[in-house]
Amino acid sequence: MVGRIQRRWFVGFVAVVVFLAAVVAGMPMKGQAAGVVWPAPPHLTTPSAVLMDAATGQILYEKGADDKRYPASMTKMMTLYLTFEAIHDGKAHLDDIVPISQNAYNTGGSEVYLDPREKFTLKDMITFVAVHSANDAAVAIAEYVGGSVGQFVKRMNEKAQELGLTHTHFVNPDGLHDPNHYTTARDMAVLARDLITKYPEVLDYTKIHDMWIRNHTFDVSATNNLLGKYPGMDGLKTGFTDQAGYCLTATAQQGGVRLISVIMKDPDDQSRQKDTTALLDYGFKNFTPLPLLKPGDPLDVKAEVPDGVIESLSVTTQVPLAPLVPEGTKADALVRTVEWTPGLKAPVAQGQQVGTVSYRLGDQQLLQLPLYALEKDDKAGFIRMMFRGLIHFVTGAVESVFKRL
């Protein structure tokens, strides 16, 4: 009787264990994207497009992002970048009078018909470029800031390399067609993000609908026809040539989230507007930030520096660690990967990059950000390293003994 009861108890116990195991097996483990459905992408006419989170650089959508394309007047984002860089470096000033050369006068294409006898400030020229996409103003700026168009274009390509625009090459500051003047949608998104992050004042110009000059006789009107139509849009740069098609790098902000969209080689302006609207709507309506870490706050893992005075360095990011995710996504649904710089050795400077952190949601790569040292770490001296080695040896020996017990 006792044996029969024991057998029944045992069988019941096993049944419970099997049931619980089945339940656990069916439950989502930490890091799995349980119940999270990635939003269906929008239907676009354009062959090349990118949608990017301006805060982190996270790519929410891409299509032909690395295909070689002609940027047309989106080139002028780099022209504006170098102009604001010169102003911030004190090499140029907004109230400087910019000479108008015969070369600028003869540029052609989209222009404000600059005359060498006119006097306009650098601020005026920036406005002409940002609002009306004026080629003549772009050339005048290049000559003034760079000394010559050739020197300015050289700097454009140097800056492209500095920013990681590995599939971009510039031949001029205005975007008029040249077969050796090319880029990709991804590179344009990266350039746009760097531009508005480092020089946000550019948006004060690109959001202008129109302005009057020459005693109110000439209307400098915006080429971006979505200004005033799409909520929160304040930039950034259109482009068109027969070879490039209709292009637009746009940016808009809604609810504290700023997105950057790039459309290249659309067949007409209506398609360009429609695709840009669909792309931005896709981002704003389907994704929300998931705050994980504020810039300057330490991550919950540390960088190991074996030969440093501090063996374990606190690390952080320089931008908010807040990936955009589908509504309802929880932090424990993300899979985090931390990779340290191989062979990291002291000395380590404060702010030095020491690794990267990346996050995935199911099969979707969300973002990857550099990790930086929160403090400096000098190289440890011989005596410190000797005692450290002794401590590690003793600790290892003790752990080995306990494992055998």
10-residue stretch averages of pLDDT, the chain, 405 residues long: 43 40 38 68 97 97 98 98 98 98 95 96 98 98 98 98 98 98 98 98 97 93 97 98 98 97 98 98 97 94 88 92 94 96 92 96 94 89 56 59 62
Please give the DSSP secondary-structure letter assigned to residue 110.
Answer: S
Which residues sit opposite 321 in a β-bridge? 293
Burial of 358: CB neighbours in 10 Å, binned 0-12, 13-18, 19+: middle
Domains parsed from the chain with CATH numbers: 48-287 (3.40.710.10), 297-382 (2.60.410.10)
Residue 252: other Cβ atoms inside 10 A: 23
What is the pLDDT, as a whole number, of residue 405?
Answer: 64
What is the pLDDT, as a whole number, of residue 248?
Answer: 98
pTM of the model: 0.86
Give the Cα separation of 124 and 108 in Å (integer). Answer: 19
- Torsion over CA: 118, 145, 123, 137 (sign): positive
Widest Cα–Cα separation across the chain: 115
What is the pLDDT, as a whole number, of residue 302?
Answer: 94
Burial of 33: CB neighbours in 10 Å, binned 0-12, 13-18, 19+: buried
- Ramachandran class of 108: left when φ > 0, alpha when ψ lies in -120 to 50, beta otherwise: left
What is the pLDDT, as a whole number, of residue 346?
Answer: 87
Residue 176: other Cβ atoms inside 10 A: 19
Cis peptide before 236 (omega within 30 of 0): yes
C-alpha radius of gyration, the chain, whole number = 28
What is the pLDDT, as a whole number, of residue 309?
Answer: 84
The pair of structure tokens assigned to 248 is 């637009």
Active site (catalytic) residues: 73, 76, 133
